[in-house]
Chain A
């Protein structure tokens, strides 16, 4: 009894608790309201929906933990698959095309980090710029054309539970890294007080470069899965991913100012958004409402976070 109590209290203090609660409510409501919602087939569908944004959100979490932000994730995703797609149509084997696309993500992410750490301008502005530059390059090169058809082999990564397995592995790795490594701890420190971190000997620049680079690679990876899922590549791929990712991070309880939050929370945030969108779609709610609802969710999440801050 006495041993169970502290454990129970610990559960109550979990910052992910509120969102778990909302998740449970959502699942209950939709399961009752929507026929066929509570089924393996549907969950597999939803899991595929969640996976791509979910993977991008993991990278976004690391960045927001440091007090930064990256608006160019969707553009990086699109860049990787559109430029990589040229290789795919040229008949490159997968073991060349995949690493090439990931490398594109790495380079663009690194470039973001480089600019952010060398120019004294907020990440918001820099990545707003790079987002437009990356998207501009895509349009120039592809001239706005779709790339299709995609060979069958490339579609394996987007079918069944494969996308979700990728997400799960990435989640596991980054949850562990964020909680147990020097790298993870330093991300929180940078977001919690950048100048203090510098004065404590933390190589802030290097760590920032690393998170933006990781985010670039993860965005490209989400792109590969998206290609597998949809079977074609369009220049507008990944449009709005930055907003969905930021929403998942914030709804998941990570402070938009950095320093506190969790990768797990972000995952729950993206699941919550995925469930709501899927449920609304099945209820045949006009898709125009979906943006509105996501927006309300974001504001609610931030309001909750602010209230929590004020109570301290």
Chain B
């Protein structure tokens, strides 16, 4: 049993955790939910030994322990699987599993046979068909995560903390992960499952703890509560529905893609996007959706096919700047690497794509820049102290709004949103959906890529299913039900 007693932690200007008290029972899957900034990450970092300075105490089976480093926590039986995986891509599965604890033979030589056989043992316990000698960098994210779990098992961990474990997984992989968690539970391992996704919490957890603004709101048995109750505890208000009502009407044709292909990634993709339409792209990871998006935006080149924008063939984009100039904007799934400059200010981030417009000759007109940025900050209610604040210091949802503002400033007509709600909290997700609605109400079109099935189905007017680089099927909003779509995505309907 882990008893968290009056734990507080503050950073300059922020009370990240405020007198938090709750207990995690042995052998349960304990869900921890809360919006961004609720204090979940801070608690994870305390439990895993990254933040040794905090008030209050944490008791493991009655004994107070304070970990001052990650390896100490690991030795104490607590392993954490962070959202950003810590596997080393260049090394093999077995080397990763035994990293830092490699079995050696007399004389200090690595005992490869022991590593391989023990790795196989752990992998087969988890029912994972991985080769211990495979290079981790070549594995899917789901399998890399599995390697991390193996690491925790080899450490004889009693507690495994999983931080947003499904953020890069497809629905199918999520199910596999859940099966795995159940096995871990059978083995008596306690799991702290930290997530934004209420549905997952209810699918896998035995009890749920809700944080809000650094405070502990409640710990309840899963069967004694409902998703709506938990959501309202999280946000402090009740969301009447998760997705806003679609109101926009479909207009003229905006974009046609004919026979688009790129060697090894996707082939023969044809579709049309209309004004006022949200066209959803459902698919498993690796189905080629992001690759398609990048090629449509000019970040990679098409090897075949053509793109027709506003009725004119524009051939193929060679550089994103050309796509932006013609009114096509892309919101990357990788916000930190392909969306933001974390160490630059909100203002510098937002105005980057429209510097030409706010400049006279070569010189930036500061006042125009500030006015423009200010108008978007107000429009999207971005929470900040100053527009000169570094983007790094914003929450995920607000960071995403900064990227979206940057794209909107370009006055593009076609938007490609690739996983726009990844890693952001429920309230901010709803706001993003609303922004998408507003954009289409103004006659713009959106290609919407998401690996969360309910989201694709809840937001899109039409849904295109991609499987192994090809369009497998189109659903209208009315005919799309989750199971039918999932069957198409996983190939379950194949003749």
Residues of A within 8 A of B (CB): 180-183, 185-186, 188-189, 192-193, 195-203, 255, 259-260, 312
Asked if B134 is at the interface of the complex by the 8 Å CB criterion, the answer is no
Given contacts A185-B348, A201-B321, contact A193 B364 (CB under 8 A): no
Q: Is the CB of B341 within 8 A of A182?
A: no
Q: Kindly list chain B residues whose C-beta atoms are within 8 Å of the C-beta of A186.
A: 352, 355
Does A202 contact B352, Cβ atoms closer than 8 Å?
A: yes
Contact of A198 with B320 at beta-carbon distance under 8 Å, contacts A183-B362, A186-B355, A189-B352 already known: yes
CB of B392, distance to nearest CB on chain A (Å): 7
CB distance from B372 to the nearest CB of A (A): 14
Q: Is the CB of B324 within 8 A of A201?
A: yes
Whole-angstrom distance between the alpha carbons of A203 and B340 in the complex?
Answer: 16
Pairs A–B under 8 Å by Cβ, sample size 14: A182-B356, A186-B352, A186-B355, A188-B341, A188-B344, A189-B341, A192-B342, A192-B348, A193-B340, A199-B339, A201-B320, A201-B323, A260-B344, A312-B392
Q: Is the CB of A200 within 8 A of B406?
A: yes
Using C-beta atoms within 8 Å of the partner chain, give the interface range for chain B: 20 to 34
Contact between chains at B341 and A192 (CB < 8 Å): yes
Q: Does A185 contact B364, Cβ atoms closer than 8 Å?
A: yes
Min C-beta distance of B363 to chain A, whole Å: 5
Residue B325 at the chain A interface, CB threshold 8 Å: yes
Q: Is the CB of B319 within 8 A of A197?
A: no
A180 engages B340 (CB within 8 Å): no
Residues in A whose Cβ lies below 8 Å from that of B355: 182, 185-186
Query: How far is A312 from B344 in the complex, measured between Cα atoms in Å?
Result: 13
Contact of A199 among B299, B336, B359 (CB under 8 A): B299
Contact pick for B338, options A182, A189, A196, A201, CB 8 Å? A196
Are B341 and A196 in contact, with the CB atoms below 8 A?
yes
- The reply to whether A199 and B362 contact each other, CB–CB distance below 8 Å, is no
Which residue on B lies nearest to A260, using beta carbons?
Answer: B343
Bound: A200/B348 CA distance, A: 12
Q: Are A192 and B353 in contact (CB under 8 A)?
A: no
Interface SS of A by simple majority: helix
- Bound CA span A202–B337, Å: 15
A-B contact count (CB 8 A): 83
Contacts of A193 in B (CB 8 A): 336-337, 340-342, 344
Q: How far is the CA of A203 from the CA of B324 in the complex (A)?
A: 12
Question: Chain A residue with minimal CB distance to B356?
Answer: A182
Q: Is the CB of B353 within 8 A of A201?
A: yes
- Is there contact, CB below 8 Å, between B352 and A200? yes
Selected contact of B337 from candidates A180, A185, A189, A195, CB within 8 Å: A195
Task: Confirm or deny: B211 has a beta carbon within 8 angstroms of a beta carbon on chain A.
Answer: no
A195: shortest Cβ distance to chain B, in Å? 5
Contact with A along B22-49 (1 / 0, CB 8 A): 0000000000000000000000000000
Residues in A with CB closer than 8 Å to B342 are 192-193
Q: By CB atoms of chain A within 10 A, which of B325, B330, B344, B356 has the most?
A: B344
**A181 interface neighbour in B344, B353, B362, B390, Cβ under 8 Å:** B362
Chain A hits for B8, CB < 8 A: none
CA distance A71 to B348 in the complex (A): 29
Given contacts A182-B362, A203-B319, contact A196 B392 (CB under 8 A): no
B303 within 8 A of A: no
Taking the closest CB of chain A, its distance from the CB of B355, in whole angstroms, is 4
**Contact present for A192 and B343 (CB under 8 Å):** yes
Given contacts A188-B341, A192-B344, A259-B344, 9 further A-B contacts (CB under 8 A): A181-B363, A182-B355, A182-B364, A185-B348, A185-B355, A188-B344, A192-B348, A193-B337, A198-B299
B319 nearest in chain A by CB position: A203
Report the nearest A residue to B325, measured CB to CB: A201
Interface flag for B393 (CB, 8 Å): yes
CB distance A189 to B362 under 8 Å? Answer: no
Interface residues of B in 265-324 (CB under 8 A from A): 297, 299, 319-321, 323-324
Residue of B nearest to A184 (CB): B364
Query: When chains A and B are docked, how far (Å) is the Cα of A54 from the Cα of B264?
Result: 51
Contact, CB under 8 Å: A196 / B339:
yes
A260 to B356, CA, bound (A): 22
Contact between B348 and A189, CB atoms less than 8 A apart: yes
Q: How far is the CA of A312 from the CA of B340 in the complex (A)?
A: 17
When C-beta atoms are compared, the residue in chain A nearest to B366 turns out to be A180
Shortest Cβ distance from A177 into B: residue: B362
Task: Give the nearest-CB partner of A190 in chain B.
Answer: B341
Complex CA distance for A183 and B352, rounded to whole angstroms: 11
User: In the complex, how many angstroms separate the beta carbon of B465 from the nearest chain A beta carbon?
Assistant: 26
Kindly state whether residue B450 has any CB partner on chain A within 8 Å.
no
Task: Say how far A217's CB is from chain B's closest CB, in angstroms.
Answer: 18
Residues of B within 8 A of A201 (CB): 319-321, 323-325, 353, 410
In whole angstroms, what is the CA distance A127 to B355 when docked? 31
Determine whether the beta carbon of A259 is less than 8 Å from that of B364: no
Q: Write the chain B residue with the least CB distance to A198.
A: B320
**7 residue pairs, one from A and one from B, having the closest CB atoms:** A192-B341, A201-B321, A193-B341, A201-B324, A200-B353, A192-B344, A182-B355
